[in-house]
Structure 1
């Protein structure tokens, strides 16, 4: 993907104005100096890279029109996300309104508190001219609520001061949409990781935020990851990086970009000044740092090392790959591992996090029906469109993918007596497929190349592992794999607790079944997801999940209880024979190890 020099080429020019904060409307224009003589086609992407679901962002375009030399130009709808303008003797300008009320990291959001957008939600693509330089003028809202707003983005400035409104430049359309924009009154701090400036932007009220601790901890994570991929030069793949973070009452999520990440978190998960610095496995701040570590690792693994299907992206349709277990699962393996290597958590806390992942994978019977390769391929229709039956039908390429990474790491370490590790495989992927991705005619990696690379770098024949655990549905032999490294995997349950084997949620003041696990007590008795529990043995079940646990705690495994539940508006009765809680109580304990074998966290 050879890049053009944006200053030597006529740019595709955009303006974006947060016009109506209360109405959540951005005004956007795109001007094309030399439109296609056959009639220029414009299209808004149907999905955003990193989130594998068709979202049809064009549905948020409210009004759209075109003009040239001050005169209207006919604009015809081609399909649900494309328009064709009548031929003109350029330039051509298309103006449109975008409704922005999606409080997530994937789309756009605008109100009196802040503005945020991903390029895929607001920038119409000029078909045939995506390779040209693109520039965007981000204008200040006229609303008094925005008088002190600033702009945060990793886009290079052209006619703007850093953090200011004005003009920003991108080498091409793919570059343009890979730099989300945050505007508002935000907390801001900057640190350098191996010489590269990294900005932390926090939007939302966070009383007594310990920004100094956040800077120090993120610096440790970033420097650890930079040194992981470039141990000699410690050269980062970007000139600047931005953590764009929206703090809310309750939220969690992130989306990776080539020089930034968009994050949403609970404000309670951000560090508070003058509190203990030690992190435990249940610490909300640890969860936030793990999220930051995950998205930052994507800077290498998926933003530059890519599956072949993503080079380039087809932004108008589903783009299938069976490799998300590598790009998301392996990133999930390394995110917490990097916290240990950065010195932020102990090995004990790390093993507790790993045990939690093992338990979550073993929880759903979907793991026996779908491989991580199939889960990757079916992300568009299954993983990102989960319903109440998901635990019984699918497996997560994130969580089981991270255990697949662990399996490969432990196997390679053990069979090579510690001479090779999964780290060596990741470095080879980076050197061959990622390092020069944006600087040369780069391409993505295929499934066959991935498997061949594992064998080449490790010196082992790993096809049986790919067949059984990547393309197959066998449970990973983790206890056997841990043993040579002095880690004992055990099921901690001493006495099984009585359980309905369900997941629940609140429905007003009531308790609603959100998932019924296959083969469990509720399933065998005939209860279904969506049923609202009314009573157990004529005692009311309140909406708080702890109330159900408390009631069940008065029984023993094997007891039969009478459950009254509403299905839709009909009251039904079920006789439920309580079974033991089948959620594995996984524990990982260090017992000592062969001195030749270092654990991955060492």
Structure 2
């Protein structure tokens, strides 16, 4: 068999090989290089967002041109997405014309986000019309238009000419909303007539970075009353009831804004707008922008306030990005337009430190209690302490995941790893913070780094870019130390377990017991699953579907995979409580836990030989240690 396979297929493939050799594939994209020159004239972009029933955005664009070759680009590399995630499949109906006559186009065979056309003599303006087809179902992508809410993400609805820096292309945008709808955005309004809004002209880079949320049900709350540079919470919701927020719920949001001002000592926006959607239908999101952020959660954020502490750091995280990630940006993010690849090597600063400050500000402001914060840290510490994939893949390499995987579901995430630079990055920065505090006898901290590094050029919107060496130098100015190898060992290493030295230096250690914290219960409720990660090595959905399996854990060694459904536990129909009871009983028994499992059309029984009882993560004080964590979480005065 081996000999036949090594000869006959090769013999048959020779004609195919010859044919392939005769095909000339394009060697490069025929897209003009980016030159640092202003685009001549102002592009006019009109967006009609009134077709709610079919969820279609319709665009008209007027582009000043000269006769000759013209290449138009659809944004591919999107800020905040960290990867080539421009929704090209939703762009449709593209037509160009000049002086009322059609102008044909061809797509570039290499850079498929580029469209080439030739402007005829005598044409000074090219008209474009096209649509953005918002997903009708979550399987098609994130839903951006419903009967009650819509979100305008300008890269989804914008084309722009190649050959120019996005900072030097001027655009005049306008938007038609459904009758009676209100909106929030960092964009400045020039005029409004009924449901048509004309915005002030601005550069393309700022436009792309300034989304808009609009809704039938809308409420705006001033989070910094009387401030010269205001911060607004713009809320849209499925219904009026979801908009109702009690004063004691709004106050911690205001405190978060105040605490951020004390931390950074600067601002880099004319006004900051939280765009906040409370919806079951509009797609959930958390995305940063320089002068605003997109935030989408379930409708019970205010009405079920007591249940939502586990996810209440979202707004703080995105707000911190105005300083970390948007004003101060990694050097690899300094690209001339939205079709030049981003370099992500410093996302552990961009996102990891933002994750840290988001948790800290949420605690300092009271958005999350100190107990809730500790329980959240415990859950994260346990998760990353059990990531088996670190044995072959360093956390530094996970900065490439927005490009490699683009947040698609994974079969074995515990082994493959995903965007771990967020939360594992947070633990690295806790390590840095506590190290500074320890070495300086508690006189300095990462707060000093934040103020020195992000607090420069107060009031400026012009991004300041940085390198790894800049970060190390800034840390050394706060506290002299050999920071480069300290950071690199944590970023590039393959040691088992998460980098929890900072947690120990903060006076706490990770432990497990058989009682879930309120945080763990809340996460299970939000995810509609039951977590057995640190006992059986899996999480299970309410219907018995296996949500995740820990690599080389108990369930893994028994042959369980994520495409399975648990039908019964010890001959009883599956429920989360039934499996919990079985785990408890097995602690006092030598008998394995028997699971009836369905995988495709096949059923089988597997035995889990586990007798360690239920295990849930908690933090426990280290005796006789300094409680630096309490100090870190204390509000700044």
Match of 1:468 in 2: 489
Partners of 1:421 and 1:517 in 2: CA distance: 36
Match of 2:468 in 1: 447
Could you say if the C-alpha distance between residues 482 and 563 of structure 1 is closer, same or farther in structure 2, counting changes exceeding 3 Å? closer
2:125 counterpart (91, 94, 103): 91
1:416 counterpart (431, 434, 440): 440
SS at match of 2:326: coil
Q: Can you list the C-alpha shifts for 1:123-180, whole angstroms capped at 9, x where unaligned?
A: 112223431221111123xxxxx3221232111112238x963211343111111111
After superposition, residues 107-122 of structure 1 pair within 5 angstroms as 109-122=144-157
Indicate yes or no: 2:173 matched with 1:136: yes
CA shift, 1:387, in A, is 0.3
Match of 2:114 in 1: 82
Partners of 1:260 and 1:471 in 2: CA distance: 33
Match of 2:95 in 1: 65
CA contact (8 A) 1:16 1:28 kept: yes
CA contact (8 A) 1:437 1:443 kept: no
Partners of 2:50 and 2:428 in 1: CA distance: 48
After superposition, residues 17-416 of structure 1 pair within 5 angstroms as 17-35=48-66, 37-79=67-109, 80-88=112-120, 89-101=123-135, 109-129=144-164, 130=166, 131-140=168-177, 146-160=178-192, 165-191=196-222, 193=224, 194-204=227-237, 205=239, 207=241, 209-210=244-245, 212-230=247-265, 235-249=266-280, 252-271=284-303, 283-312=306-335, 315-316=338-339, 318-382=341-405, 384-394=407-417, 396-416=420-440
SS at match of 1:268: coil
Partners of 2:273 and 2:628 in 1: CA distance: 40
CA shift, 1:337, in A, is 1.0
> TM-score, normalised to structure 2's length?
0.81
CA shift, 1:201, in A, is 2.0
Could you say if the C-alpha distance between residues 60 and 345 of structure 1 is closer, same or farther in structure 2, counting changes exceeding 3 Å? closer
Indicate yes or no: 2:568 matched with 1:532: no
Could you say if the C-alpha distance between residues 19 and 491 of structure 1 is closer, same or farther in structure 2, counting changes exceeding 3 Å? closer
CA contact (8 A) 1:469 1:476 kept: no
CA contact (8 A) 1:46 1:54 kept: yes
Could you say if the C-alpha distance between residues 249 and 151 of structure 1 is closer, same or farther in structure 2, counting changes exceeding 3 Å? closer
Question: Which consecutive unaligned segments of at least 5 residues does structure 2 have?
Answer: 1-35, 517-531
Could you say if the C-alpha distance between residues 465 and 566 of structure 1 is closer, same or farther in structure 2, counting changes exceeding 3 Å? same
Deviates more, 1:240-249 or 1:463-472: 463-472
CA contact (8 A) 2:535 2:615 kept: no
CA shift, 1:229, in A, is 1.0
CA shift, 1:296, in A, is 0.4
Partners of 1:350 and 1:392 in 2: CA distance: 27
SS at match of 1:110: coil
Could you say if the C-alpha distance between residues 197 and 186 of structure 1 is closer, same or farther in structure 2, counting changes exceeding 3 Å? farther
CA shift, 1:226, in A, is 1.8
CA shift, 1:457, in A, is 2.7
Partners of 2:132 and 2:333 in 1: CA distance: 27
Could you say if the C-alpha distance between residues 574 and 466 of structure 1 is closer, same or farther in structure 2, counting changes exceeding 3 Å? same
Could you say if the C-alpha distance between residues 490 and 319 of structure 1 is closer, same or farther in structure 2, counting changes exceeding 3 Å? closer
SS at match of 1:267: coil
CA shift, 1:343, in A, is 4.7
Deviates more, 1:473-482 or 1:87-96: 473-482
Could you say if the C-alpha distance between residues 284 and 596 of structure 1 is closer, same or farther in structure 2, counting changes exceeding 3 Å? closer
SS at match of 1:550: helix
SS at match of 1:419: coil
Partners of 1:495 and 1:262 in 2: CA distance: 35
Partners of 2:58 and 2:363 in 1: CA distance: 46
Partners of 2:325 and 2:579 in 1: CA distance: 42
Indicate yes or no: 2:554 matched with 1:521: yes
CA shift, 1:4, in A, is 11
Deviates more, 1:588-597 or 1:90-99: 588-597
Question: Which consecutive unaligned segments of at least 5 residues does structure 1 have?
Answer: 141-145, 276-282
SS at match of 2:135: coil
Match of 2:513 in 1: 493
Match of 1:279 in 2: none
Partners of 1:121 and 1:154 in 2: CA distance: 17
CA shift, 1:199, in A, is 2.3
RMSD between aligned residues = 3.3
CA shift, 1:287, in A, is 4.0
Could you say if the C-alpha distance between residues 490 and 354 of structure 1 is closer, same or farther in structure 2, counting changes exceeding 3 Å? closer
SS at match of 1:39: strand
